[in-house]
Amino acid sequence: MPFYEEPNYAPFYADDLAAEDISPLRDFVQKQVKELLGEHLAGSTAYRAARALEMSVGAQIDELGLWFNDEEPETLTNRLRAWNMVIFSVWPWEGVDDFDATRWRLIRHRDIEGDLRSARHRVRELEARAEKLRAELDDH
């Protein structure tokens, strides 16, 4: 799998995520950090960076776990935000063994209704631009 400049977007929504999605992310990060720690001397800059990664991404994953208690819009918004923070932290590993490139993607919307609202808004904006262009052409 190739490494991209930014994470890919998911064909699913925040309400499609489950608490079971957390453990594979945690396990993956722990495996990567363990390898890094094993490659560098304790106290070295690289070792400290690996520990910082372990703690910061671990905290992000812990926060993600807080947002699976219900499917309310605010909870889904927080789930989406927390998920995307974790994904931004792990996506540089895309292409390595155990990286789930199908699942570990950014999410754009809380649910299908949010996606539809966004699409309708984009259509209205395009229609307004087209109408403006038509009016400008008619004036000429």
pLDDT tens by residue, 44-94: 999 999 999 999 999 999 999 999 999 999 999 999 999 999 999 999 999
Task: Write down the pLDDT at residue 62.
Answer: 97
Claim to verify: residue 69 and residue 119 sit in the same structural domain:
no
CA–CA distance, 78 with 67 (Å, rounded to integer): 7
What's the number of domains the chain is made of?
2
Q: Would you say residue 77 lies in a domain?
A: yes
Q: Would you say residue 2 lies in a domain?
A: no
Q: Would you say residue 65 lies in a domain?
A: yes
Claim to verify: residue 87 and residue 39 sit in the same structural domain:
yes
Claim to verify: residue 139 and residue 88 sit in the same structural domain:
no
CA–CA distance, 36 with 64 (Å, rounded to integer): 24
3-state secondary structure of 73: helix
Q: How many residues does the chain have?
A: 140
What is the domain range of residue 128? 112-140
* pLDDT at residue 135 is higher than 90: no
* pLDDT at residue 7 is higher than 90: no
Task: Write down the pLDDT at residue 37.
Answer: 94
Widest distance between CA atoms in the chain = 73
The mean pLDDT of the chain is: 90
Claim to verify: residue 101 and residue 116 sit in the same structural domain:
no
Q: Would you say residue 1 lies in a domain?
A: no
Task: Write down the pLDDT at residue 1.
Answer: 43
Claim to verify: residue 121 and residue 71 sit in the same structural domain:
no
Task: Write down the pLDDT at residue 8.
Answer: 83
Claim to verify: residue 104 and residue 137 sit in the same structural domain:
no
Claim to verify: residue 132 and residue 89 sit in the same structural domain:
no
Candidate ranges 2-6, 94-98, 104-108, 133-137; pick with highest mean pLDDT: 104-108
CB 10 within 8 A of CB 112: no
